[in-house]
Structure 1
Amino acid sequence: MTLQLSDIVLSYGGSPIISRLDLQARPGEILVLTGPSGCGKSTVLRALAGLLRPDSGEILADGQPVRTTSRDRALVFQDNALLPWRTVQSNVELALKLAGTPRSERAEEARRWIADVGLSGFEHYLPKSLSGGMRQRVQLARGLAGAPRAVMMDEPFGALDTQTRTSMQKLLIDTWRAHPTTVVFVTHDVDEALLIGDRIAVLGRAGQPLRALLDVPTPREALADRSALRSEVIAALDTPEFP
């Protein structure tokens, strides 16, 4: 799925957060959004998901205006958004139900996704019985299970410890390769952006324009020296802002 932001303006409390942003997420790529706190990364994500309407400009999904949410565009949060009264299996099956998967196929399909994220044997656990990393694995399975054509991820690994976060980053890349889809991923972490992204969009502070749009050489794991590209991202983040 192609996601196109054309000259969009997004405001909060009457003040512009995003001003005249033009940006495109290409089919099957991972586009990372980064930038200083308060620059509107999560706001852009919610607008792409159809949860917010821009003040002006246009958001298109495969050429069609985004007016509301759609099962073709899934959203994965940092906070635990699993339904606490549903088991792992039931949470994933809910995504399949919303996607229109026949009842007779849901249980088997859910088990396949649970296995893909390394949680076989935990199908009947409630979220409260799982670690933070395990809950994020369930969220990843649920987010992808309905075969969305685009997935928006809002700092999904930000609250995890370093070891678990590294594991989840690898899992995301492996799962995305096995089930290709367009991903828009928000992070504050430059190294995470370099590891996950095909391209990195650096947003300016509230109301400021896009600072940089950088390509990440692929395959990501073969990028032995990230220092030059890392310096480019940091330089864009540190760019002085003018009225």
Structure 2
Amino acid sequence: MSTTIDISDLILKHRDRAVVDGLSLTIASGEILVVTGPSGCGKSTLLRAVAGLRPLDGGTVTADGAAIVGTSRDRAMVFQDDALHPWRTVRKNILLALQLRGVPRARRSAEADRWIAEIGLDGFGDHLPRELSGGMRQRVQLARGLAGAPRVVLMDEPFGALDAQTRASMQQLLIRTLHAHPATVVFVTHDVDEAVLLGDRVVVLGAAGEPVRRVVDVPRPRQASPANDGARAAVIEALTAHNTLSTPQETNR
């Protein structure tokens, strides 16, 4: 089950300066919306506002018509830093999410094992985060976030610190997992190829306080298709028109 997010005339400030100024956007139930733009344009700030982790300086953000005024079990955050509890094993990190969701104790262990298998970490359930690679930790964080059955998943450059091969693997894992466990997703990235691969739409924010530069529809989301070449070009054009796009090598960093 997923949720529609409505953002209307949103203002978010850092100190006295607006970083998001008058943003209006509807994110459809079950949509994967990718947000990109120059550094400092308010991408992470926007995610925190939708999560209910920071107050609004103006405007409204609603989930299925209800104002977001604080955190909720229905909204999960996935960060670039895996943010796992370092003293908990893989299984116990996932079990915590199941406990908070209210899954009966008798079912938790089997459900945790199902998630471990689903993310390809059979045999690692009793490992601590420090014993895992970065990609493996991100797999655990993804499982922990989705095990709580959120209606909205907010992802802040979750694969940005991974090498290219691991990043590609995580993108495919995310696609498979969301197919099996649908949710509304807001995904922040600096990587244009990642944005066009994952998103139903890509929102290109302007610099801090500027209007949205462009909203690009992706013809064939989650597919490596020539039909998406035009969407990729449109995103790059929106970024490079203001000299904010990194070189192709830098977009993967």
Instruction: Provide Cα deviations, 1:113-132, integer angstroms capped at 9, x if missing partner.
Output: 11111111111000000000
Structure 1 runs, 4 residues or longer, greater than 4 Å off: none
CA distance in 2, matches of 1:92, 1:240: 43
- What residue in structure 1 maps to residue 134 of structure 2? 132
Amino acid in structure 2 at the alignment position of 1:153: M
- Structure 1 residue 73 corresponds to structure 2 residue 72: no
Residue pair 2:220, 2:228 contacting (<8 A) in 1 also: no
- What residue in structure 1 maps to residue 17 of structure 2? 15
Tell me the TM-score normalized by structure 1: 0.96
Tell me: CA distance 1:94–1:82, structure 2 relative to 1, closer, same or farther (3 Å): same
Deviation at 1:35, TM superposition (A): 0.4
Residue pair 2:198, 2:221 contacting (<8 A) in 1 also: no
Instruction: Provide Cα deviations, 1:180-237, integer angstroms capped at 9, x if missing partner.
Output: 1111000000000011111101100000011111111125325225432211001111
- What residue in structure 1 maps to residue 195 of structure 2? 193
Unaligned runs of 5+ in 1: none
- Structure 1 residue 172 corresponds to structure 2 residue 200: no
Tell me: CA distance 1:79–1:219, structure 2 relative to 1, closer, same or farther (3 Å): closer
CA distance in 1, matches of 2:221, 2:42: 29
Matched residue SS, 2:226: coil
- What residue in structure 2 maps to residue 29 of structure 1? 31
- What residue in structure 2 maps to residue 48 of structure 1? 50
Matched residue SS, 2:54: coil
Using the aligned pairs only, state the percent identity: 61
Amino acid in structure 2 at the alignment position of 1:151: V
The equivalences for 1:151-166 within 5 A come to 151-166=153-168
Matched residue SS, 2:82: coil
The equivalences for 1:65-104 within 5 A come to 65-104=67-106
Aligned length: 241
- What residue in structure 2 maps to residue 228 of structure 1? 230
Amino acid in structure 2 at the alignment position of 1:64: A
- What residue in structure 2 maps to residue 38 of structure 1? 40
Instruction: Provide Cα deviations, 1:156-185, integer angstroms capped at 9, x if missing partner.
Output: 000000000000000000110111111100
- What residue in structure 1 maps to residue 247 of structure 2? none
Matched residue SS, 2:40: coil
Q: Which moved more, 1:103-112 or 1:183-192?
A: 103-112
Residue pair 2:199, 2:221 contacting (<8 A) in 1 also: no
- What residue in structure 1 maps to residue 107 of structure 2? 105
Instruction: Provide Cα deviations, 1:109-149, integer angstroms capped at 9, x if missing partner.
Output: 11111111111111100000000000000000001001100
Amino acid in structure 2 at the alignment position of 1:74: A
Matched residue SS, 2:56: coil
Alpha-carbon RMSD across the aligned residues, in angstroms, is 1.2
Deviation at 1:60, TM superposition (A): 0.1
Tell me the TM-score normalized by structure 2: 0.93
CA distance in 1, matches of 2:86, 2:56: 32
Tell me: CA distance 1:51–1:213, structure 2 relative to 1, closer, same or farther (3 Å): same
- What residue in structure 2 maps to residue 218 of structure 1? 220
CA distance in 1, matches of 2:239, 2:89: 41
CA distance in 2, matches of 1:40, 1:142: 26
CA distance in 2, matches of 1:122, 1:34: 34
Residue pair 2:219, 2:227 contacting (<8 A) in 1 also: no
